[in-house]
Amino acid sequence: MNEATTTLDVKGLQCPMPLLKAKKALNELAPGELLRVVATDPGSVKDFQVFSRQSGHELLESVDNDGVFCYLLRKKSR
């Protein structure tokens, strides 16, 4: 199955904006769709881990590429 991925660029934004914008983008996706978030805020690493556990959205990937943080989330089914 070839899944479409929406990309959200929040580079340059500080906490809590990367997470707030990601939550808004997830609300617009259908269940099971993927959201890739690209951020530069080091605090976003912990934010996205906690958000994933609390919200039920699956954090599939969390990568640090020299200060650019990439997250891949799958919107929960319900």
Pairwise CA distance, residues 15 & 38, whole Å: 13
List the structure tokens of 75: 């919107």
Ramachandran assignment for 46, one of left (phi > 0), alpha (psi -120 to 50 degrees), beta (any other): alpha
Segments in the chain forming alpha helices (H): 17-27, 44-55
Which one of the listed residues 8, 13, 15, 70 is annotated catalytic? 15
15 an active-site residue?
yes
Active site residues: 15
